[in-house]
């Protein structure tokens, strides 16, 4: 059996980001997005849809500070 390293993708991170956005944990959302960028993981529409949840809740100002 060959072991391979788990390579996270946007599809694997989107549920995490969505959950953090609905729980209004802005700092953790930013950390998760930073990790995605550091791992050269491209964002997709699901990532942006999760961030829209923050915008709908009026928390977008805290996201970009």
Q: In whole angstroms, give the CA distance from residue 65 to residue 58.
A: 14
pLDDT at 1 over 70: no
Query: Domain segments of the chain: what residues?
Result: 17-63
| Structure confidence at residue 36 (pLDDT) | 81
pLDDT at 15 over 80: yes
Task: Please write the tens of the pLDDT for every residue from 17-64.
Answer: 878 877 888 888 888 888 887 877 777 787 787 778 777 777 767 666
pTM score: 0.66
Structure tokens at 21: 């956005």
Structure tokens at 45: 């529409």
| Structure confidence at residue 63 (pLDDT) | 61
| Structure confidence at residue 65 (pLDDT) | 61
């Amino acid at each position: 059996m060959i072991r391979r390293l788990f390579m996270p993708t946007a599809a694997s991170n989107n549920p995490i980001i969505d959950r953090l956005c609905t729980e209004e944990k802005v700092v953790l959302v930013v950390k998760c997005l930073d990790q995605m960028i550091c791992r050269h993981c491209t964002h997709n529409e699901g990532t942006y849809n999760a961030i829209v949840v923050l915008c709908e809740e009026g928390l977008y100002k805290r996201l970009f500070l």
